[in-house]
Each structure stands twice: as C-alpha cells, then as structure tokens.
Amino acid sequence: MAAAFLLLFLHDRKRTAALHFSGAFFCATVGYTQILLIDGDLRRASVLVTMLTAFGSYVLLLKGMSRLHKRPFPLLLFLLPCVVAVGFFAASKSDPAVLGLRIAGVYGFMVVVDIMCGVIAWRSAAHHIDRVIAVIFLCQAAVISLLVGQLLMPGAEKLNMATFGASHFAITMRTANALFGIALGIGLFVRFGVIEVERLTRLAGTDPLTGLLNRRAFETAAQTLRSVSEPLPTGLIVCDIDHFKRINDNYGHEVGDRTLMAFAKLLVEEAPDTAICTRLGGEEFCVLLTGATAEMTQLVATRLRVAIEQMQLGVETGQLTLTASFGWCELAPADDLRAAMANADAAVYQAKNDGRNLVRMAG
C-alpha cells in the first residue's frame, strides 16, 4: 500500500494526499515489522519504536484525509487525544506491570483519530466510496473500543510487559488493525481511481483551450437539460466571432488563443447561471438556456452581443475590440436539437451578411 500510494503521488505531484497515505502505511509497516521481530519481549526501545510509528501513521492518515477532502486539519481535536495518550503513558511508566492506562491512552488516541477520519469522509461524501471509507474507519474505532473494554473488565486477561506481545489481546488487536488497514488502503485507492476517471471524463468532454464543453459533451448535456425543462421551451444561441482570421493574421495565434479564452469567459459570466456554454469549434460558440421563451432568448443574445462589443483585450499595439454575430431560436421539447443548431447557424451567417455584430432569429 505504501508503494502504491507513492507511485500515485509520483504520477501526479498535486496529489499530496497520496503522499501522506504512503507515509502512513510505511510507518505502519515499520511498526508491525518491529512487533514481529521482538519475539514477545517488549523491550523499552521496541515499545518506543512501536508507539512512534503508530503515532506517525495516524498523524499522516488524518492529514491525508484532510487533504483528500479539502478540509482543514483538525489541530485542536487532534492535540487533545495526543496529550491524554502521553499522560496515560507517563502515568503507567512508574509501574510497568500495569498496562491498563497505557493501553487506554494509546488505543484511545487511535479511536479518536479513526472517528475524525470517518467523520471527514462521511461529511464530504463526494462519491459513494467515501461512505464505505467512513464505515471502515468507524468500524475500526468500534472494534478497538470493544477489545480495550473487554481487557479492562474485571476478570480479564492479566498482562505485563513480558507477556503482552504474545497475549490474546495483542494478537487479536494486531490482526484486526491489519485487516482494517488493508480494507482502508483498497478503499482509498479506489477513491483515487474514481477521481482519475472523473478527470479523464471531464477532459474528454471539455475544450482544452477555453474550458467549455465540447460539441459531443454539449449534446449530451443539452438532452438532459431539455428533459428537465419540459414542458417549458429552451433557448438556443449560436455566435461566431467576427473577423477572427484577421486577428490571427495581424496579431498571431497567441493573441487568437487569448481572444477565444476571453470570449468564452465572457459568455460564462454574462449568460444565466443555468445556461450551458460550449465551443462548437474554431471561433463558433453556443449557449443553451433552460426554460427560455423566444423573447428571453433574444434578450440574452442581445445582452451578450453588447457585452462582447464593449470588451477590450490588451495587445502590444493597444486595445483589441471584438464583435460577434448571433443567431437564435426557441426550442420546443419535441424539436430536433441538431436541426435547430443548423438553423441558428444559418442565422449567424445571415447576421454576417447583413453587416456583422448583429442578432438574427433562425428562420
């Protein structure tokens, strides 16, 4: 698990949560290896290494969960169980034969961190796998609490420093934590897989230059929006930047790209929040309005035309002004989208033939 999350981080350095998870599983590996090597005899140095690796593992795990779900690290909530655990550990140091306080402090700290991680995953719940991860954390906290509670009950197994490593409690606790660790690692790795699939899906449906939907993704989104809007009509606006080839020829393709990005940004800012904006290709764009009548669609198209006319783009020789030609139509629920887009596109060319920087209704 540590190697898998490390490779995930090296593949994409922005995934710092994966690096934290890698460190958490590495610390757990060192701790479990130390437990296996001490052969039942809990020497002081071995206890120290085991406690430090357990502490480090849970610190990194909580930091990773906070980064993964974009939540602030709960520092105050984290420091409280730390102080309690250290206090219990110090209190039991005077009598090594009594492990109750030490066990309660160490495993109590683990329970609190498990609960915090579970709450972070459950409250975020951006994906179904988040709920699964939250359940794993909370189940681990419940199992640890149950085992510690049984150990502290009257008549329970009597432990001391020499017999703790080979005790039924220690073996059961290590086995349970190892199983939960494996389940948690798989769940977290699936979570990163879901994020990657979403990213690739978004890239496949997004124009890389402007960030708007591409034509294929637009048609899918438009179908969903129109079905949700029924029985209300939808408004369709197609626009094309005037003399865009002249911009590329006079100022270069870098300015042409900046023009397209600024144009797309203006469409998103000026169009209604529920509208779908897309780049159809080249300098041609499209806006779909939900629940918009003919009058509303024409009003939005006119507002966009005026906003574009007032926009200025800084270039080496001064300020570059833009205009665009618009075609629009009202779409009834039964109308064909592609036919309507062809009609609106024809209206755009009519606007260009009439002098550009105009709004025309599809025939």
pLDDT in tens, 189-226: 999 998 888 888 777 788 889 989 988 888 888 888 88
What would the mean pLDDT of 157-183 be, rounded to a whole number? Answer: 80
With a CB cutoff of 8 Å and minimum separation 6, the contacts of 51 are 89, 106
pLDDT number for residue 105: 76
| Dihedral sign, Cα of residue 82, residue 84, residue 87, residue 92 | negative
One-letter identity of residue 117: C
pLDDT number for residue 89: 65
pLDDT number for residue 124: 86
With a pLDDT cut of 70, the percent of the chain lying above it is 90
pLDDT number for residue 170: 80
pLDDT at residue 228 is higher than 80: yes
From 14-28, 147-161, 240-254, the region with the lowest mean pLDDT? 147-161
Q: What is the token pair recorded at 283?
A: 């300098």
pLDDT number for residue 363: 77
Element (DSSP H or E) covering residue 252 = none
What would the mean pLDDT of 148-168 be, rounded to a whole number? Answer: 72
Annotated domain spans of the chain: 2-204, 215-361
What would the mean pLDDT of 51-56 be, rounded to a whole number? Answer: 84
pLDDT at residue 186 is higher than 60: yes
From 35-44, 130-139, 284-293, the region with the lowest mean pLDDT? 35-44
pLDDT number for residue 165: 67
pLDDT at residue 42 is higher than 60: no
pLDDT number for residue 45: 62
Tell me the range of 92-106, 200-214, 217-231, 267-281 where mean pLDDT is highest: 267-281
pLDDT number for residue 163: 67
Q: What is the token pair recorded at 203?
A: 């890239």
For residues 124 and 84, the model is more confident at 124
With a pLDDT cut of 90, the percent of the chain lying above it is 49
pLDDT at residue 319 is higher than 90: no
Number of C-alpha atoms within 13 angstroms, CB side, residue 201?
7
Cβ atoms of 297 and 237 closer than 8 Å: yes
From 97-101, 231-235, 348-352, the region with the lowest mean pLDDT? 97-101
Alpha-carbon distance of 135 to 141, in angstroms, equals 10
Confidence of residue 359 (pLDDT cuts 50, 70, 90): very high
For β-strands 324-331 and 359-361, DSSP reports them as parallel
Q: Is 298 buried (19+), middle (13-18) or exposed (0-12) by CB count in 10 A?
A: buried
pLDDT at residue 360 is higher than 90: yes
Q: How far is CA 290 from CA 58, 130, 224, in A?
A: 48, 32, 11
Confidence of residue 43 (pLDDT cuts 50, 70, 90): low
pLDDT number for residue 160: 65
3-state SS class at 325: strand
What would the mean pLDDT of 265-283 be, rounded to a whole number? Answer: 92
What would the mean pLDDT of 131-136 be, rounded to a whole number? Answer: 95
Number of C-alpha atoms within 13 angstroms, CB side, residue 255?
20
Per-residue pLDDT tens over the stretch 234-249? 999 999 999 999 998 8
**CATH 3.30.70.270 matches 215-361:** yes
